[in-house]
């Protein structure tokens, strides 16, 4: 039975878009659920987290909430009931960079931002694993690697990319989640002197990934000509990500963090352009835009594998 699945609940970047013209590709902000046997990994907690956290069913034995960073479109868990209580004895383990930790503490201040303080969130484990990028951590369900992305205002380490190398009966399945990363520019259209190094480290990080969820908020035309003001906002362009994913030999590229300026009709046009570009550049994998509600089966865990490691 297939029991590794990636489910998509929030694909939009910057702000939620709730009107009808955003429904095909999704209006909720960043939220994904990677299920590995009886372990659940929630990737970011944008407005889609309420639906994503419904995967915390009684058969889930361990859960993690892995924040990329602390901006509001990635950290908006106030109304997700699972943050307050769930069936997990130790609660949900939380990871992220220093900015995500500060944002979580500010959001749940019990005063101005949210009426419930962080101390009363019984559904979260009270420890916070602070990441700087570059970590390799062995968990019962997988090996987790991280990468420091460039994202303002914190710069390098402003967001954290995750890669999960999951052992299966037929080898290792790798899922990478990289969002809110930029390579070529810093704020106010200033060229980043470390651009080539950032790209090299990124390619090495995603090398051979079976699935790559990656930020593709802007097109190259927007980035270079139509709206050059977005240079330095902390997001790459679609064509650049396709090129980097191709260099890394990625199997499936799922573009996400969709712009709130791109309703469904425009998204379909941009997706076709992306497919044509990928084909023209000899992209060896598959490319499509992530859609809210998409579910991607990724294979089987070994018999007794995850449970055996949990018991160890």
65-82 pLDDT tens trace? 999 999 999 999 998 999
Q: Flag whether pLDDT at 304 surpasses 70.
A: no
Residue 231 has what pLDDT? Answer: 96
Q: What is the CATH number of the domain that holds 69?
A: 3.60.15.10
Distance CA 119, CA 273 (A): 48
Distance CA 147, CA 177 (A): 10
- Give the CA angle between residues 25, 251, 22 to the nearest 5°: 5
CB 179 within 8 A of CB 154: no
Residue 198 has what pLDDT? Answer: 98
Chain-centre distance for alpha carbon 196:
23
Give percent above pLDDT 70 in the chain.
96
Q: Give pTM, 2 decimals.
A: 0.95
CB 292 within 8 A of CB 256: no
138 by DSSP, 3-state: which? strand
**Structure token digits, residue 298:** 């990724």
Residue 172: strand pairing partners: 167
Residue 302 has what pLDDT? Answer: 53
130-155 pLDDT tens trace? 999 999 999 999 999 999 999 999 99
Establish whether the linkage from the previous residue to 130 is cis, with ω within 30° of 0: no
Q: How many domains does the chain have?
A: 1
Question: Phi and psi of 201, rounded to 5°?
Answer: -65, -35
Single out the residue of 33, 39, 35 nearest to residue 307, CA to CA: 39
CB 106 within 8 A of CB 141: no
Mean pLDDT of the chain: 94
Q: Which helix (H) or strand (E) holds 100?
A: helix 98-107
Residue 301 has what pLDDT? Answer: 66
Cβ count within 10 A of residue 99: 22
122 by DSSP, 3-state: which? coil
55 by DSSP, 3-state: which? helix
15-51 pLDDT tens trace? 999 999 999 999 999 999 999 999 999 999 999 999 9
Q: Flag whether pLDDT at 310 surpasses 60.
A: no
CA torsion angle 289 285 222 6 (round to 10): 30
CB 202 within 8 A of CB 146: no
Residue 165: strand pairing partners: 143, 174
Residue by residue, DSSP assigns 215-273 as: E--B-HHIIIII-GGGTTSS--BHHHHHHHHHHHT-SEEEEESB-TT--HHHHHHHHHH
Residue 70 has what pLDDT? Answer: 98
Q: Please, which pLDDT band fits residue 255 given cuts at 50, 70 and 90?
A: very high
Q: Could you list the residue range(s) of the whole structural domain that residue 81 is in? A: 4-311
């Amino acid at each position: 039975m297939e029991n590794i699945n990636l489910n998509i609940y929030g694909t939009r970047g910057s702000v939620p878009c709730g009107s009808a013209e955003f429904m095909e590709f999704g209006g909720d902000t960043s939220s994904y659920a990677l299920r590995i046997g009886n372990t659940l990994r929630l990737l970011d907690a944008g407005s889609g987290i309420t639906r994503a956290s419904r995967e915390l069913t009684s058969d889930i034995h361990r859960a993690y909430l892995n924040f990329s960073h602390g901006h509001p479109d990635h950290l908006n868990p106030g109304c997700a009931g699972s943050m307050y209580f769930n069936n997990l004895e130790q609660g949900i383990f939380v990871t992220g960079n220093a900015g995500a930790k500060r944002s979580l503490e500010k959001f749940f201040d019990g005063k101005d931002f949210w009426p419930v303080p962080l101390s009363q969130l019984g559904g979260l484990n009270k420890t916070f694993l602070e990441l700087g990028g570059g970590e390799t951590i062995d968990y019962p369900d997988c090996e987790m690697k991280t990468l420091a992305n460039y994202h303002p205002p914190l710069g390098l380490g402003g967001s954290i990319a995750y890669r999960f190398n999951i052992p299966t009966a037929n080898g290792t399945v790798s899922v990478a989640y990289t969002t809110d990363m930029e390579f070529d520019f810093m704020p106010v259209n200033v060229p980043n002197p470390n651009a080539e190094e950032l790209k090299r480290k990124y390619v090495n990080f995603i090398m051979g990934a079976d699935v790559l969820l990656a930020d593709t908020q802007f097109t190259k035309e927007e980035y270079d000509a139509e709206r050059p003001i977005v240079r330095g906002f902390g997001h790459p362009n679609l064509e650049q990500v396709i090129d980097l994913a191709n260099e890394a030999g990625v199997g499936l590229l799922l573009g996400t963090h969709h712009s709130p300026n791109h309703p469904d009709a425009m998204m379909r046009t941009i997706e076709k352009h992306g497919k044509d570009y990928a084909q023209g550049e000899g992209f060896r994998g598959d490319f499509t835009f992530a859609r809210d509600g998409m579910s991607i089966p990724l294979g089987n865990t070994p018999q007794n594998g995850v449970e055996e490691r949990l018991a160890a």
